[in-house]
Structure 1
Amino acid sequence: MIPQASWIGVLIVLPTLAPMLGAALTLLRGRSPNFQRPVTVGAITIALVASAMMLYLTSVHGTFAVNIGGWGGRDGGDSPLGITLVVDRLAALMLVVSTTVLLCVVVYAIGQGIRDGTTEQPVSIFLPTYLILTAGVCNAFLAGDLFNLYVSFEVLLAASFVLLTLGASAERVRAGASYVMVSMVSSLIFLAGIAFAYTTTGTLNLAEMAVRLDDVPDGTRNALYAVLLVAFGIKAAVFPLSTWLPDSYPTAPAPVTAVFAGLLTKVGVYAIVRAHSLLFPGGTMDTVLMIAGLLTMLVGIFGAIAQADIKRLLSFTLVSHIGYMIFGIAVGSVESTSAAIYYVAHHILVQTTLFLVVGLIERQAGSSSLRRLGGLIASPLLAVLFLIPALNLGGIPPFSGFLGKVALLEAGAAQGSVLSWVLIAGSVITSLLTLYVMARIWTKGFWRARADAPEGEMAASTPSALVEEGTDVLIHDREDVGRMPVTMVVPTAAMVACGIALTVWAGPIFEFTGSAAHAVLDRADYIGAVLGGSTGEGAP
């Protein structure tokens, strides 16, 4: 039985509406953290519950769409007029994974006390801004037209700039300014693409555009596709458009870096999936994407090898593993797209977890530099929380990282082209080097004695709980080094558990991603739901 249209409409709107209302409430009560915290957690929980319900409904009934504002079709026709929100299996999965991460990270941030490095930071603005970021992420996955997707990106930009520069230190403002400049360039290119698309097709609705682009000359289609790929490639940090990321993310507080690393680049990857499958099917840019994917893998991981700070190291591994997703998209088969979707979910969870663990390391040792770290194995809980996602990212069986990579390699081998085999080789090299850099963190940060670190004498002057149990230490105006609050440890452990769950239930999840990939590549489900009415049932 198909659910009533009104209930579907409410569910589709909730992941965006609940955080926006929560942001308004928390901003009005900025001087009441005891009010802000439950409202924030409650708003994101509502978004998560609504997303989980949509995940179930799309798995049973297919794709649903809703037109916001009650507008009908143009000139009495069926074409939607207004803001169209669409949820299919892919969007629903991205919403569930993203809201899970956002919920865990905000609990972690509340446990951390939100500030990171100084008592002068405007803590009251963090939670409202975080909720706006949540609304932007959710709306991007639901956007059914190019302009609404652009608005979602701009909401993300505004919120992320505030979060990156929280505390207004010189380093954070410098990194934030660089991030905003790159994002503004991306936004201008995206706007040019929107103007180009409207001039070419007379619509910005993705479903309508998909139909009309079939009649557009190949040269015009390819030019439009190239413009959108550049805009989305900057958002996704695809080489050579990725140089901004390692300089921007590591300066922010641990919760901000975690959510940025886990989610923001994946919004760009999601946009590439939609453009590649819905608007421009046929593989006209697949060779370019495959080359970009290969270079993204290799340049990112070689950059990681050269880093001594864990945050920067992980930022480079983030770039490198975007290449796996681009690889899966470019191959263009149901199997490769399914593997790419699975790998996106895996990477969101694992990369976020590792950055949260880095926040715990900073709490225990007062630094994230490998030149100062050592002896962290004295905290077995911290060691386990790092080791599991590190092995997962490195692709050690039987973890989800291994399963996702094997699925991608099998899909590439099935295609059989010379370039796909080159990408397979690059993927294997990247995986081995990822394991190498994770092993560096493990051996230097955990097993090595802290006194043996090159700058261990600097660390020795700022003892942690590993050196003096229970001692309160003051580092850069902080009295929290050496402590790992339960409210920081529990969400980190929950993220580790989510990564393990992706392994334990890999079979059913791959079945779901396979059906999601089939619907994404087939297009009929998406187009039928949007152009066939305000809500609809797609193909089973």
Structure 2
Amino acid sequence: MIPIKFLLLLPILVPFFTGILAVLSWHQRQVQRALSVAGSLLLLLVAGLLFGQVKQLGPQAVQIGNWQAPFGITLYADLFTAIMLTLAALMGLVVGLYSLANIDDIRQRLGFYPLYQMLLMGVCGSFLAGDVFNLYVWFEVMLIASFVLLALGSERRQLEGAIKYVTLNLMASAIFLAAVGILYGVAGSLNMADLALRLRTAPPGVVTTLAMMFLVAFGIKAALFPLFSWLPAAYHTPPTAVSAIFAGLLTKVGVYAIIRVFTLLFVHDLAFTNFILLILAGLTMVTGVLGAASQNHYRRILSFHISSQIGYMVMGLALFTPLALAGAIFYIIHHIIVKTNLFLISGITNWVSGSYELKKLGGLYVRLPLLAGLFLLSALSLAGIPPLSGFWAKFTLIKAGLEVESYAIVFTALAVSLLTLYSMIKIWTQAYWKQQPEEEKRPFPTNQSGWVLRFAPVVLLAACTVTIGLGAEYFLEIATTAAEQLLNPALYVQTVLGQAVGGLP
């Protein structure tokens, strides 16, 4: 068994060294491709081992350099962290496989594979960070890699999307850093476990102000209303592999950070903060799905839906019950898999048809029934049709909302599900069911390896969606345990500081 000290480091070290080896193999693109797949596979293995350890032994922490907390760098993993690391590694592997057929030679020569590994390192570091400043550092590692990946190739539409993406995310980073500075001035510490203790005695008004600053910073990164406009303007512009990994992971890092700080640090005025979060959740759902319903571009519809579905995750946090938070975690698991898969499917549709514009597509139900079936499976799951994963995720959240008599958000969630189904049917009828215009028809690609490398990841993720739906009881049990750990800040403090602490909410 790998010592937990090293197991907590490996999700960061594996993509880091894979990226370095890829840089050293700069002119050997076949070696880079092999390294990327091998590194992603190793990351998945490490994440799986860490998940098993945390599930069996409970939350784990390590102090880098043997500095006693709260003075050094802390890495922390509870079940929520382990779930997110496993999902990140799985998406890294499947999208990495897809990229072998999707990323052209120019982008490979410009460093796609090293950047891809650095992105995964930033994502994993963000999940493991046990202090606020290092959370900021890992966010920046992730965002710098994403900035370059988004603009890699320098196509006009990419640069237009990248400018919007960079501008708003730099604003978020500036607000984040300012909040970190004020937080340190108020509490004298940035270690999250230590902050959970110190903020209890800080002035409530100052703590509330800090909570709103962090909410704005993380809300931009998570694409919460009204801070989501950068996402649909950017995510439809890069190659499919890039937009798929962005869709699956990047906004979820923002959601993870919101859940972490609003269950551990900013719990002094739950009535106020949860009310704000509930309002934002409802508005995010509605504006996102209305934006999707108005679009006629395949990936722009999917991009708006990312924002809309983030609202369900925040809804679970805002209701702040064990069942609701379990529903939010279940929803994150479902959404990462389904949304990544829908973007990959859109890329195959574009590859065989030559367009993302719905009016130029059609006929794929007859010409390529497997692709149409895979899309329908993922689309129905996104809309919450039983017995797929999306149904159980939404069912859990709806049940939690009814238990606390929060009828407005329940109604909103149900209405948004219907509009989600409408927009998914819109894609189905336009891209797969209707006849394709004669002038847009083209022969299918003949590259056999291209077919395998594109379809294998999609089939794997579709199988995951069905498995989660059929095994919902097991996954909900895991999510419930993770939620209970999040709602027990004393457990976090005891794991990091090594001491029992009473009186925490």
Which secondary structure state, in structure 2, belongs to the residue aligned with residue 246 of structure 1? helix
Partner in structure 2 of residue 475 of structure 1: none
TM-superposed CA distance for 1:60, in Å, is 1.6
Q: Scaled by the length of structure 2, what TM-score is found?
A: 0.96
Greater shift, 308-317 or 519-528, is seen at 519-528
On the 8 A contact 1:186/1:235 being kept in 2, the answer is yes
1:505 aligned to 2:505?
Answer: no
- For the Cα contact (< 8 Å) 2:243–2:343, is it kept in 1? yes
> Given that residues 12 and 50 in structure 1 are in contact (C-alpha distance below 8 angstroms), is that contact kept between their aligned partners in structure 2?
no
Q: Match for 1:412 among 401, 424, 448?
A: 401
Partner of 2:502: none
Deviation at 1:499, TM superposition (A): 1.3
Which residue does 1:537 correspond to in 2?
A: none
Larger radius of gyration: 1
2:385 counterpart of 1:396: yes
CA contact (8 A) 1:339 1:404 kept: yes
Q: Is 2:9 the counterpart of 1:23?
A: no
Identity %: 41
| Shift of residue 484, structure 1, vs aligned partner | 4.9
SS in structure 2 of the partner of residue 85 of structure 1: strand
Aligned counterpart for 1:464 among listed residues 443, 453, 463: 443
Residue-by-residue CA offset, 1:84-107 (whole Å, 9 max, x unaligned):
100000000011111101110000
1:238-249 equivalent positions in 2, closer than 5 A: 238-249=224-235
Following superposition, which runs of at least 4 residues in structure 1 exceed 4 angstroms of deviation? none
| The one of 295, 316, 326 aligned to 1:307 | 295
- Which residue matches 2:115? 129
Q: Distance in 2 between matches of 1:274 and 1:242?
A: 21
Q: Distance in 1 between matches of 2:453 and 2:197?
A: 50
1:158 alignment partner in structure 2: 144
Deviations 1:128-169 (A, max 9, x none): 000000000001000000111101110111100111111111
Whole-angstrom distance in 2 between the partners of 1:42 and 1:403: 34
Give the distance between the partners of 2:55 and 2:373, measured in 1 at CA. Answer: 35
Of 276, 290, 298, which aligns to 1:288? 276
Residues 310-343 of structure 1: per-residue CA shift (max 9 Å, x gap): 1000001111010001100000011100000000
Q: Which moved more, 1:135-144 or 1:59-68?
A: 59-68
Measured after TM superposition, the shift of residue 120 of structure 1 is 4.1
Coordinate RMSD, CA, aligned: 1.5
The answer on whether the counterparts of 1:360 and 1:484 sit within 8 Å (CA) in structure 2 is: no
The answer as to 2:375 corresponding to 1:382 is no
Aligned position for 2:318: 330
Gaps of 5+ in 2: 500-505
Q: Which residue of 2 aligns with 1:219?
A: 205
Aligned residue in 2 for 1:257: 243
- SS at the partner of 2:358? coil
Structure 1 residue 122, shift from structure 2 partner: 4.6
Look up the match of 1:37.
33
* Residue in 2 that maps onto 1:88: 78
Number of aligned residue pairs: 496
Q: Distance in 2 between matches of 1:350 and 1:244?
A: 21
How far apart are 1:51 and its partner, in Å?
A: 1.1
Paired residue type of 2:376: L
Q: Which moved more, 1:122-131 or 1:8-17?
A: 122-131
Partner secondary structure for residue 487 of structure 2: helix
The answer on whether the counterparts of 2:110 and 2:152 sit within 8 Å (CA) in structure 1 is no
Q: 2:458 aligns with which of 456, 480, 492?
A: 492
Q: Distance in 1 between matches of 2:494 and 2:320?
A: 22
Q: Hey, what does 2:10 align to over in structure 1?
A: 14
Shift of 1:80: 2.9
Residue 144, structure 1, aligned to residue 140, structure 2: no
For 1:464 and 1:137, the matched residues in 2 are separated by 39
Partner of 2:159: helix, strand, or coil? helix
Partner residue, 2:153: 167
**By how many angstroms is 1:464 displaced?**
2.9
- Structure with greater helix percent: 2
TM-score normalised per structure 1? 0.90
